[in-house]
Structure 1
Amino acid sequence: MNQAQENCYYLTNATSPSYEEKKRISRDSRDHFGILRDIGNELENIFKIIPKQWQIIQQRVIPDDVTKNKLFVTAYDNKLLVPNIIMSLYINNRYYPEPWKVLLCTPSTTMEELAIFIKRCFFAADNGYSDNLFCIANLEELDFESQYNLVNYIKEAQFEIKVL
């Protein structure tokens, strides 16, 4: 049995805390983000050694106006549609979205995070990841200055690519 299977075995056979323990945990715990982070870290430790398999989707859905190597921007008033739009874009590209290909902005998203993501987008092909789709969503959550800086950063990155 390999390490990932062993970890999964122990996870699936773990005993659930008693009702009294659950009440104590939920009452004592106020750091919900910390709990989610810890769960995420444990899941990452379990699954990081399993090789990723690309999943190619056989059937396309309604086509979007996405052109290879071109920036695509869309705006929707209904925020509830954002996950559906993202999934539609990826399905049309015949892949599932992966965490390193999607950036969901919040009011606390920094310019550094945006810059790193833009570099990842523009230099993906140079690093063996051609024909990938990258998506930044919820830009309206950013303050005006961050939105302005992002647009300028994208323009600069496009110019640098043309010069190279």
Structure 2
Amino acid sequence: MKIKAAMLLVVSLVMSGCTIHQTVEPAQIDSGHRLCIVENPAVREGFLPEFISVLERKNIAYEVVGDSAVPTSCEWVARYTANWSWDLALYMSYAEIKVYRNGSLDGEAIYDSTRGGANMNKFIDAETKIQELVDQLLHVKMASLFSRSFG
């Protein structure tokens, strides 16, 4: 009986180390504002187009800028990074998108399967995951069209 309990404990500890983490703290961009995306040339080619596709679907104005050329007029700035790993197949093991408003962090999305080990759920469709992260991260705050006070 003690051997079974010890084996169960060992298996539980090993499997808990094979977790995938995803956290999203949303940012609310004011309607009509532009998001400046700082292009990261170290990230695989397909990441940025998937990021942009969500912005277009949400009607969020954007501009892709270089790290050294972020205009001072950019109130909202997004920075991203992502890594791919090999384990029987190439897969996106880490993605991070941070959104800043006037230089202060306003929201972030992180996907981390680097400790996924034997967890087969790490073999995700990267395009779908990128879209999911951006969709959950960025929300448009609509200005009230009918802002009158009654009383």
TM-score w.r.t. length of structure 2 = 0.26
Question: Counting helix residues as a fraction of each chain, which structure ranks higher?
Answer: 1
Question: Counting strand residues as a fraction of each chain, which structure ranks higher?
Answer: 2
TM-score w.r.t. length of structure 1 = 0.24
**Larger RCO (CA under 8 A, 6+ residues apart):** 2
